[in-house]
Amino acid sequence: MNQNTVMKLGLKIRVERQKQKISQEKLAELADLNRNFVGMVERGETNVNVQNLENIANAMNLPIQELFNFII
């Protein structure tokens, strides 16, 4: 993924999390991830692997493809 895609993906995750009124800490707990890592993903500072992305999607009860629904 290029950096622009990583940033868009992170923003999409943040928007979906905020829509559900879930804190980063709660999302991290539900997805079995570190809260700092979730923050880095949301800020586009790190690339996320498929397993962690699936964990995030499942934690928010979203199909994984919904997280890529940002490309215009």
Per-residue pLDDT at 26: 98
**Which 3 state secondary structure label does DSSP give 32?**
coil
CATH code of the domain covering residue 43: 1.10.260.40
SS3 content of the chain, % helix, strand, coil (to 5): 65, 0, 35
With respect to residue 71, please indicate whether it lies within any of the assigned structural domains.
no
Per-residue pLDDT at 71: 66
With respect to residue 19, please indicate whether it lies within any of the assigned structural domains.
yes
The token duo for 67 is 């997280």
With respect to residue 20, please indicate whether it lies within any of the assigned structural domains.
yes
With respect to residue 69, please indicate whether it lies within any of the assigned structural domains.
no
- Tally of domains in the chain: 1
pTM exceeding the 0.85 threshold for the entire prediction: yes
With respect to residue 72, please indicate whether it lies within any of the assigned structural domains.
no
Range of the domain at 14: 3-61
Q: Which residue has the tokens 């539900």?
A: 30
Ranges of the chain with pLDDT below 70: 1, 71-72
